[in-house]
Structures are given as structure tokens and as C-alpha cells.
Amino acid sequence: METGMKAPDFTLNDKDGNKVSLSDFLGRKVILYFYPKDNTPGCTRQACAFAKSYGEFEKTGVAVIGVSKDSEASHVKFASKYSLPFILLSDPELKVIKEYGVWNERKLYGKIGFGVSRTTFIIDENGFIEKVMKKVKPDTNAAEILDYLKGEKK
């Protein structure tokens, strides 16, 4: 997926089992971020940074959506434990994760396997990819997006 491409529409379940489609957000900018796993150190820091900045995203009408392969039940516990106010979607079959090109070979502790590459997409009001942020840092991703959005409005 690259800047300027139409973002593939999808429908996944949120933590409460409700179906959520990307097309539900047409007319709003969407921060769609893919992360490896609930309750891991980096993913927790990233989610908490989005939660801390959530009010600023809401003020500008920007939706924040996190996607991982974790189950709905895992998302319920993760969102509850850290008071996450935004949407978490479950993609256990990796359909959307693969469609967005974030399921990649990774080397961890000397072992090669596959996993989700921490990637954030900013999708514009018309459903096109405005910006792709690869290999984002968990602690600064939300702030970088806010800086980008503020710079855009000048």
C-alpha cells in the first residue's frame, strides 16, 4: 500500500463483536494502525500514547483504529486494562493485515518467523491513503501524526 492508493475497504469485528467497516468512516480522516500483539511492552506504549492524545484526534474529527490478529476477548482485556477509548479490530485470519502488506518476515531473538510490522496509515476523507508510516516507534507514533495533521492545517 502506498500514498495515493485507494485504501482497501474491509469489515472486521471490534472488541465487542460489532462489525466495523473502513467505509463507515468516509467523510472523516482515519488513523489506521497495525500492531503485533495486545499487552506487549511496545504495543501497550503505542496504544497508551494514542489514548493520551485521543481528545486531540477527536477534536479534529479524526478516527483512530488499531488492528491486530488478537481475539476480541484479548482486545476487551487490553482496552479495559489501559482505558483505551478508540476502536480495536480483530483480524485473526490476517485478511486485512495481509491486504495492507504488514504481515512480514521478521527476525526475533535469532529466529525467523512472520509477524505484523508496526505500520500506520493516514487515510483521507475520501478513502485514499494520504500517508504511510512504516516501522513506527511506539512512544512517538501518535505525536508524529498530530504534528503531521497540525502542519497540514497551516
Structure confidence by residue, pLDDT tens digits, 45-92: 999 999 999 999 999 999 999 999 999 999 999 999 999 999 999 999
Q: How far apart are CA 35 and CA 139, in angstroms?
A: 13
Which member of 43, 67, 97, 149 is catalytic? 43
Percentage of the chain exceeding pLDDT 90: 84
Residue 118 lies in a domain: yes
Domain of 49, CATH number, reads 3.40.30.10
What is the DSSP code (8-state) at residue 23?
A: G
Any idea which of 26-40, 41-55, 105-119, 126-140 has the lowest mean pLDDT?
105-119
Residue 35 lies in a domain: yes
Residue 67 lies in a domain: yes
Q: How far apart are CA 26 and CA 138, in angstroms?
A: 27
Q: How many domains does the chain have?
A: 1
Residue 2 lies in a domain: no
Q: Using alpha carbons only, what angle is made at residue 65 by residues 143 and 54, rounded to the nearest 5 degrees?
A: 45
65-75 confidence digits (pLDDT tens): 999 999 999 99
Residue 4 lies in a domain: no
Q: Is 48 labeled as catalytic in the residue annotation?
A: no
Residue 69 lies in a domain: yes
pLDDT higher than threshold 90 for residue 33: yes
Q: How far apart are CA 141 and CA 52, in angstroms?
A: 12
